[in-house]
Amino acid sequence: MPDAHSLLQLIWLASPALPVGGFSYSEGVEAAVEWAGIDSEAKAIEWLSDQLHLSFARGDLALVAQAIPAWRAGDAARIRELNGWVMATRESAEFFLQTEQMGRSFVEWLKLHHDDTAAVFADLPASYPIAFAFAASRTGAPVHDGCLAFAFGWAENMVAAAVKAVPLGQSAGQRILARLANEIPAAVERAMRLGDDERQAFAPLLAVLSARHETQYSRLFRS
């Protein structure tokens, strides 16, 4: 178990209040409301659960599980390789913008807390998962717990997007979050077992919806 300081650091990193802009992205949820029939609590739960297991756990979550130990080992080549994978697997302009903008904002926030941040990222335009993994690696918490925090932060942002876009009430949002929280541990366990050849970001419907969102009428979110 992490000590109190490490645990609080992870809670902080997972907070939607972190000034990195996560609240402004729906990762396809808003487009799914219009074109994939996500019009109820039950359908929102199904959609986000599928996204957790089929896309997030097999892609960014698995990458964070590999990036945290790479940061701790000081393996710059491995970090660049993983960061390049993130950038290369964003299947729409919006998804690329999201990981680039959130990564840049996360690094700027980290400069307030780690004196070497500017030097570490001087020639590395970090994606969001890579920047998060750097921060998680500095907490001293186990990799498993860093992944739990990353996944729960994602879940909170997605539920907030669904509450606004479907729309749903706050109680419905909490029920969805409870369902995702129950499923996150299994998703993390699976993500931590994936190797480079098993990690993937293939989610065709999500990519199509993200591309369609670029011209969606009356959008609330940036993706």
In a domain, 223, yes or no: no
**102: containing domain:** 25-213
Percentage of residues in the chain having pLDDT higher than 90: 86
111-120, 123-132, 142-151: the lowest-pLDDT one = 111-120
Contact status, residue 126 vs residue 99, Cβ threshold 8 Å: no
Residue 18 lies in a domain: no
Tens of pLDDT, residues 138-160: 999 999 999 999 999 999 999 99
- Indicate whether 8 belongs to any domain: no
Which pLDDT score, from 0 to 100, does residue 221 have? 78
Identify whether 50 is part of a domain: yes
What's the mean pLDDT in 93-110?
95
Q: How far apart are CA 177 and CA 45, in angstroms?
A: 9
Q: In this structure, are residues 200 and 91 in contact, taking their beta carbons and an 8 Å threshold?
A: no
Domain membership of residue 20 (yes or no) is no
CATH number at residue 65: 1.10.4190.10
Place of tokens 């029920």: 175
- Give the tens place of pLDDT for each residue, 29-80: 999 999 999 999 999 999 999 999 999 999 999 999 999 999 999 999 999 9
Instruction: Give how many domains the chain has, as a whole number.
Output: 1
- Please check whether residue 19 lies inside any domain of the structure: no
